[in-house]
Amino acid sequence: GAVVSQHPSWVICKSGTSVKIECRSLDFQATTMFWYRQFPKQSLMLMATSNEGSKATYEQGVEKDKFLINHASLTLSTLTVTSAHPEDSSFYICSADGGYLNTGELFFGEGSRLTVL
């Protein structure tokens, strides 16, 4: 099946620094990728929809200047958390639209655990 790779799987950083998370579709091209955030025992909250070659569409309440998304190619999207603060500590998960399979299925990465000290 389709594979989505996310890196790093965990990262610890100091408050005020920026962190970049990569999401790659390994064996298919994804014109659309999605970024989610999940707090403990909570649902996945969609942060933004990333389309290759165009600006990301952010969900209400998500600061686009804080969470920078770049979808430069059909296999790579990046999320940069700028000037991270402890409240940004969370589990960030990307998914890619496997639309070519015509199943509606989303393929998820393994997630990136961000801890901001």
Q: Which stretch binds another protein (CB under 8 A): 11-19, 64-72, 82-90, 93-101?
A: 93-101
Q: Does 90 bind another protein (CB under 8 A)?
A: no
How many residues of this chain bind another protein (CB under 8 A)? 26
Q: CA-to-CA distance for 48 and 88, rounded, in angstroms?
A: 15
Show contacts with another protein in window 3-42 (CB under 8 A): 4, 6, 32, 34, 36, 41-42
Q: CA-to-CA distance for 34 and 94, rounded, in angstroms?
A: 5
Q: Does 56 bind another protein (CB under 8 A)?
A: no
Strand partners, 114: 11, 90
Q: CA-to-CA distance for 3 and 98, rounded, in angstroms?
A: 10
Q: CA-to-CA distance for 10 and 91, rounded, in angstroms?
A: 9
Give the footprint of another protein on this chain (CB under 8 A): 4, 6, 32, 34, 36, 41-46, 49, 91, 93, 95, 97, 103-111, 113
